[in-house]
Structure 1
Amino acid sequence: MFSPEGPRLRELAVQALSSVERGYDLLAPKFDHTPFRTPDSVLDATASALWRAGPFGSGLDLCCGTGAGVDVLRQVCEETVTAVDFSAGMLDVARARTRPAGPPVTWVRADARALPFGPVFDLVVSFGAFGHFLPRELPGLFAQVHSVLRPGGRFVFPVVAPPRPGSLTHGMLLGFDAAMRVRNAVRRPPFVMYYRAVRFGDWERALTRSGFLVEYWALPEFGWRRDGSPRVRLVVARRPEA
């Protein structure tokens, strides 16, 4: 949950009543102290899995936020790392927290749906960003990722198994999404942030439609569900060689 260093309720209310871009500009200084940031355990497990598959050349952190994914890329990429986000506030915080060790990092302010790059990356990662995109936007978003990868390049992101229907977590996520839908029905501009709008099948269909070959890597650090499926896995989408 929120740490004492995180945003106060009033700050969250102001952010939620703003646009997505303005809201994250305001949230950026305290973002790392909120539950919205991807946990270090997921980042470390992703880095370990990519290290076993690498090394890679150039990497891109898509919707980088405060740069947690940049740290992952700098562990597995040997050449350069690029981070893109449309929030200037997030980029400022990410730039300030970057450690000196590792490949150089280029920070780019841009919309993920219109990436200003050619096919120059071997690896693209993204952490916790897809709740800011509606299901109908996914094919275009993934087509953009496909266009900036070299042939054979990979697009990787972690997914957590959905909570059991009827559980407290499931109810909280549905309640959050319902509150956001009400907010967006009565106020403009919208603040797109839904936890349940994009489902696993949406990702797979959109990735396949965009030309990717899709596979899944279990992250055994998080264990297994009763049905034998992993609690957390990596979606690994590869741009074909030809």
Structure 2
Amino acid sequence: MFDPQGPTLRELTVQALSSVERGYDLLAPKFDRTPFRTPEKVLDAVADTLRPLGPFESGLDVCCGTGAGMDVLARLCERRITGVDLSAGMLAAARSAHPDGPDGPDGPPVHWVRADALRLPFAPVFDLAVSFGAFGHFLPAQRPALFGQVHAALRPGGRFAFPVGAPPRIGSPLYWTLWGFDAAMRVRNALWRPRFVMYYRTFRLPEVRRELAGAGFAVETLPLEDLGRRPDGSPRARLVVARRK
């Protein structure tokens, strides 16, 4: 739910009628008071699952927003961490929230970079890349390029990790909520410019695995046990871990 100090309905409407970049510039000051911020329990589960795969020296948060994922990198990386995002407003909020870095002055040095994730300005220097909640902003046709950019920013053997929730049961309230949101967004983008790309039902794990493999990754998935299991015994969420060959 929205915090009482979060964005108003009018502010959300203005954001939704803007481009992705402009919309997040507008939302940035109140973003962490919305349900869109990645919950701490997800961040903790990802950090706990990645820790045995380390140690890691340098980390990259792709589409870092206000810096929630940087908290994960600060716990895992010893040398430096970098957050990259297209929105100047989100990066400004991240710098304000973490003036000394997510882990304070004793943590690894932090760098904030404004760039398009489809054109990352990095040499292959990172051991670990993560991303949280950003993939809905990329159309399926753009994902191979996105994965290729992350691959190029990783050292050989470096890992790209992100959580994926189990698909909702067909016919469940969540299923129809996501279906309705995507349908409304398609109508909005057909009638209004600039487009605001945000779709929940286009990020399907089998397709994503194939695209990661095509970009040069070896892919595995690990259950995020801290987030529990569904009644059928399957995990509620998995961590995709793609290793640069």
Instruction: Sort the TM-score into its range (normalised by shorter chain).
Output: over 0.9
Q: Deviations over 1:16-38 (max 9, x none)?
A: 00000000000001111111111
Q: Is 1:192 matched with 2:197? A: yes
- The count of residues paired between Structure 1 and Structure 2 equals 240
Q: Which residue of 2 aligns with 1:147?
A: 152
Q: Deviations over 1:29-60 (max 9, x none)?
A: 11111111111100011111122221201100
Q: C-alpha offsets along residues 184-241 of structure 1, whole Å, 9 cap, x if unaligned?
A: 001111000011122112211110110100001111112222333211110000001x
- 2:5 is aligned to 5
Give me the TM-score of the superposition, normalised by structure 1. 0.97
Listed one character per residue, the Cα deviations across residues 120-165 of structure 1 (whole Å, up to 9, x for unaligned) are 0000000000000011111010000100100000000001101111
2: distance between equivalents of 1:36 and 1:125? 17
Task: Output the amino acid matched with 1:21.
Answer: E
Task: Tell me the residue number matched to 2:141.
Answer: 136
The match for 1:176 is 181
CA contact (8 A) 1:56 1:76 kept: yes
CA distance in structure 2 between the aligned counterparts of 1:34 and 1:178, rounded to whole angstroms: 22
For residues 233 and 209 of structure 2, the distance between their equivalents in structure 1, rounded to whole angstroms, comes to: 20
Does the alignment pair 1:115 with 2:120? yes
Q: Percent identity over the alignment?
A: 68
Normalised by the length of structure 2, the TM-score is: 0.96
Partner secondary structure for residue 215 of structure 1: strand
1:165 is the counterpart of 2:170: yes
Runs of 4+ in 1 over 6 A off after TM superposition: none
Task: Name whichever of 142-151 and 29-38 sits farther off.
Answer: 29-38
Q: Is the 8 A contact 1:135 1:202 kept in 2?
A: no
List runs of 5+ in structure 2 lacking aligned partners: 99-103
CA distance in 1, matches of 2:94, 2:211: 29
Whole-Å Cα distance in 1 between the matches of residues 132 and 49 of structure 2?
Answer: 15
2:48 equivalent in structure 1: 48
Once residues 177 and 230 of structure 2 are traced to their aligned partners in structure 1, the CA distance between those partners, rounded to angstroms, is 20
Q: Give, in whole Å, the separation in 2 of the partners of 1:167 and 1:126.
A: 27
Matches within 5 A, 1:53-64: 53-64=53-64
Q: Secondary structure at the match of 1:155?
A: strand
Equivalent position to 2:211, from 206, 209, 213: 206
Equivalent residue runs for 1:26-41 within 5 Å: 26-41=26-41
Q: CA deviation at 1:173?
A: 0.7
Tell me the SS of whatever aligns to 1:58.
Answer: strand
| Mapped contact 1:15–1:22 kept (Cα < 8 A) | yes
Q: Match for 1:81: what amino acid?
A: I
The aligned residue for residue 74 of structure 1 is 74
Q: Structure 1: where are the runs of 5+ without partners?
A: none
Counterpart CA distance in 2 for 1:24 and 1:100 is 28
User: Which deviations, in whole Å up to 9, do the C-alpha atoms of 1:67-124 show, x marking residues without a partner?
Assistant: 0011110100000101100000000000111143310111000000000001000000
